Chains A and B, each alone.
Chain A
Amino acid sequence: MVLIGAIGTAIGIPIVLSIPWFPADASTQAHNIHTLYDVLLIATVPIFVGVETVILYSVWKFRMKPGEELKDGPPIHGNTRLEVAWTALPAILIVGMCGYAYTVLHSNEKNLPGAMVVNVTERQFAFEFSYPVSGGKQIVSPDLYLAKGQPVVFHLRSLDVIHSFFVPEFSEKIDAVPGITTTLRVTPTRIGNYPAECTELCGAGHSLMRAGVHVLTPTAFKTWLSAQKPNGPPPIGNPPKNAVQPGVPGDSTPAPSVPPHHI
């Protein structure tokens, strides 16, 4: 049966590795995460195959046969060595996986010198990307433009509810949270056009809250950047002076409220 399990594992691992799980890897972070996932698959396929082998073998071998209706199995109550083994082996596996995951995390979130800062502002239901340029000015764009090989640090803010910022090809994601600034690091490695998605439910327009991400050659990026007008009008408008309670668009329900001066 160990042999069956080994054969199953040997067949299973190439099968799961051959599934095209991820979209293209377009960042160093994505590359690391795809490798991590492959390692996780290789580590966990034997567990699944092992469990299935025991179940199927037991069903085939120990199934009640005619005449055994009143028969009981042998009264085996346990086996200390076996129990120690299946406690210790997963523990070792877990230590290995956590250690490896930690190194990937550490490498993905490393502070790279010369990283370009992009501010991401999110609100119901749009993204706004701004690039600080000299003189305290900034270039504002509804789409994200990046240069291949240029590390980027995103600073994210939200103007109303919690949003998120996810580019599947970058394998990186972070929420944009009202009241705080969150940070995300990406180094794009592949030229192309990708979607940015809001992945945190943010109201009625959540499904359509997307933006384009364009990774260009460094020269093309410079050309794009210099063609933009610094301090242009933000594509989603200025934040209101006094941010009000955001509602779902078209929400006309009166707030069941005590007016502020009564509190």
Chain B
Amino acid sequence: MAIPAKLRAPGWYRAALFDVLGFAFAFGLTTLIRWLMHQHPVIDGAAITIVALIAVPLFFLVGIGTMDYWFYWAAGRPTRPEDHSQHGAYTWRDYFRPNTDHKVIGIQYVVHSFFFLLVGGLLAMLIRAQLAKPGMQFLTPEQFNGVFSVHATVLIFLFVIPVFAGLANFVLPLMIGAPDMAFPRLNALSFWMLPVAGVLMLMSFLAPGGSFAAGWTAYAPLSTSMPIGQLFFTIAVQFAGASSIATALNFLVTIITMRAPGMSFFRMPLLVWANFATSLLVVIATPFIAASQFFVLLDTALHFHFFDAFVGAGRDGNVIMYQHVFWFYSHPAVYIMILPGFGIISEVIAVKARKPIFGYRMMAFSLLAIVVLGFTVWAHHMFVSGMASWIRIPMMITTAIIAIPTGIKVFSWLATLWRGVLHIDTPMLFALGFLTTFTLGGISGIMLAMIPFDIHVSQTYFIVAHIHYVLYGGSLFTIFAGVYYWFPKMTGRMYDERLGKWHFWMTFIFFNLTFGPMHIIGIQGMPRRVAEYAAKFAAWNLFISLSSFVLGASTLIFIYNIVVSWRWGPRAAANPWRGMTLEWQVSSPPPIFNFDAVPTVVGGPYEYGVPGAVHGILKPPAEAKPVPAGVAAGSSGQGSHT
């Protein structure tokens, strides 16, 4: 039988066909096993759904064409010589196919992530609408629990983590003078696992019994006793996690092996350092959340009773173990969600203040210190969990200690501003706004480390305030700074500066009006994750809801600015900010293979103000002349080729 070429070639037609095959596979396998095991009914909708949740995405990834090359290779068939047919984007359609160009993948990541920012943001608007008045509003409690669970999950796993991976995907190979990432096909696969995770999470709203509603933390045994929508979370997280791990490996190998000649570790821009540190966190920590969700999957689907510990029933599951495994990932995850932002802020502040980063080496070492310490603090999320009480003391101490490297970074940025020539445009405004909001989030973080105070505010709105100060005022502000900063490089167009400033001021003001008062109602005793609250919190909640709607609307300015500027904005110069790092030395957008010749790095990345200093020369080492200037900092590192 002749199969039409469209169904044989990688692409959406074959992906659709494979989705059907994947579902048929799940149906067949489940029904066969149930028949062999004499189970009734033989055809069980829930069982088929669970297997399909795993099988269909995998079939989709094969169908869309992310694995063709590997299958050819594994089957011993001749692999197609790399013709770069999957490299670069010539029409908008190329962004909807597996692509091996890190710049295309970077844009795929960023745009995809911002789509999910809007989804998560709209869910936040629903939450605030429900909470504008005491008493039940238009959502049922089940729906409300589902909405805030999906809100958090989407924004963590499909916005903050991948958008950083996306920005780094675009910028990092350029910054280190590499033609691409180390594993371009793996890079493509990493991206395509994200839409899979996103579709699963949103599809959970259609599941019988509603979407997953046990919070993004999915504590067992609540999560193991939920309707089947919970498993959409359980399995979606596996895909998002696998995507993270693959990308992190890719970054690590790229950074270690593909730096341009002369680019010693201590000549790397801090964004590269930040992603190096983040990638270490990802590869070590992410398997733990995978494990925690496999526990839930096995408990729910096959009754393993890991977390089945009901009093009087003689069951010996261990409920607190879930939290230990979960937070062993999810605490490092907060650093996964902020370290790349630290990198962005370092780039923006150095360039916009026209000064070298103050204490460059300490900035790099403090990142590594955070990586190590980040693994020693997880149980501070569990001070009221009923775990062995002595664990709280060392966790308080390590949590407080981690403020020291973080403080070093903040103080170094401030010192970088000092006596600079400050160009206060949109990226810089977001960087300065970040310094304010993140300092507040850091201070509430130190307070939360103090066990007695934490006992009071755990599981209240104070926690909601804190996480939004570090994830919105922290991560999202750095993301906005980064997107505005590299927009000319990524699109070849300039954004509208006036709209950018409007966006910043609206975001900054209404961010603080939305999340600032949450500290107060939290300490006053309003629990988080409630669809309904005591009347005494009514005034503040109305205020918060109204502020949040304006905050939500401020995002529309950003979207408008980006869309219109991308299409009609004025052409961007290669180096509109006069940056020294390598990505600004090539055209905007960069050529398809980044550099015509392998560049040579001859000095530190931030030698602003040093007369005649150059970071890199776009010539191979043999032709690049040594540059005596700009050797003051960061250039004494090993591996100098000059």
Contact = CB atoms under 8 A, between A and B. Distances in A.
Chains A and B belong together in one complex = yes
A130 B626 CA distance: 82
A200 B404 CA distance: 31
B633 A78 contact: yes
A97 to B, nearest CB: 6
Interface stretch (A81-89, A131-139, A144-152, A229-237): A81-89
B221 interface: yes
Interface in B23-72: 37, 39, 44-47, 49-50
B529 A206 contact: yes
A22 B435 contact: no
A162 B419 contact: no
A10 interface: no
Given A33-B456, A86-B411, A254 B532 contact: no
Contacts of A128: none
B318 A179 contact: yes
A75 B219 contact: no
A247 B222 CA distance: 8
A239 B311 contact: yes
Contact of A177 (B140, B354, B386, B460): B386
B633 A175 contact: no
A202 to B, nearest CB: 6
B228 A173 contact: no
A171 interface: yes
A168 B47 CA distance: 44
B419 A158 contact: no
Contact of A248 (B227, B310, B312, B447): B227
A67 B569 CA distance: 26
A91 B317 contact: no
Q: How large is the interface on A (under 10, 10 to 19, 20 to 34, 35 or more residues)?
A: 35 or more
Contacts of A202: 222
Given A33-B456, A73-B609, A175 B422 contact: no
A96 to B, nearest CB: 10
A179 B309 contact: yes
A221 interface: no
A63 B352 CA distance: 10
Given A76-B355, A166-B525, A199 B459 contact: yes
A198 B353 CA distance: 49
A58 B450 contact: no
Contacts of A198: 527
B608 A73 contact: yes
Contacts of A245: 221, 224-225, 308
A94 B527 CA distance: 28
Interface in A68-116: 68, 70-79, 82-83, 86-87, 90-91, 94, 97-98, 101-102, 104-105, 108-109
Contact of B419 (A74, A105, A161, A240): A74
Contacts of B414: 51, 54-55, 58
Nearest to B223: A161
B632 A77 contact: yes
B319 A94 contact: no
A159 interface: yes
Given A86-B408, A204-B141, A48 B439 contact: yes
B141 A32 contact: no
B403 interface: yes
Contacts of A205: 141
A205 B392 CA distance: 30
Interface string B423-437: 110000000100110
A58 B520 contact: no
Contacts of B529: 201, 206
A226 B197 CA distance: 59
A164 B219 contact: no
Contacts of A82: 415
Interface of B: 37, 39, 44-47, 49-50, 140-142, 144-145, 208-209, 213-215, 219, 221-222, 224-228, 300-303, 308-313, 315-320, 353-356, 358-362, 384-386, 389, 392-393, 396-397, 400-401, 403-404, 407-408, 410-412, 414-415, 417-424, 432, 435-436, 439-440, 443, 446-447, 449-453, 455-456, 458-460, 520, 523-525, 527-534, 578, 607-610, 613, 632-634
Given A33-B452, A94-B446, A254-B45, 4 more contacts: A75-B610, A94-B403, A201-B222, A247-B225
The 7 residue pairs across chains A and B that have the minimum distance between CB atoms: A168-B525, A179-B309, A256-B46, A243-B310, A199-B459, A77-B633, A73-B355
